[in-house]
Amino acid sequence: MTLAAAVFWCRHFVDFHGEMLLLVHWSILAYTGLVKILKKHHKRTGLLVRAPHLDNLLNQPFCSVEVRAQLGDPATRRAGCVFMPVDIAVGHA
């Protein structure tokens, strides 16, 4: 693999990894927002609807910790494998 190709793939990998981290953070933010909305609804109406909605939400793949870990953790582990050849080729090893 040439240095230009390695840099090209590293750049795309960094972009992909950044998107995975954004996905994780946005899903956490969405879950937190829903919890706050349901809590305020319960406070104003007295109707406890939080438990069924949160159970349903936690069954969705984007809120599952396991699915997010399957997406993000391997990408993070592979970063070293991808960047090691580029560091060696550039002379930073």
Domain spans of the chain? 10-90
Task: Residue 68: count other Cβ atoms within 10 Å of its Cβ.
Answer: 19
CA distances 91 to 1, 16, 31, 34, 55, Å, are 15, 25, 44, 49, 51
The confidence score (pLDDT) of residue 72 equals: 64
Global model pTM greater than 0.85: no
pLDDT tens over the chain, length 93 residues: 688 887 888 888 888 878 888 887 888 888 888 888 888 888 888 877 777 777 777 777 666 667 666 766 676 676 666 666 555 555 554
The confidence score (pLDDT) of residue 4 equals: 84
Length reported for the chain: 93
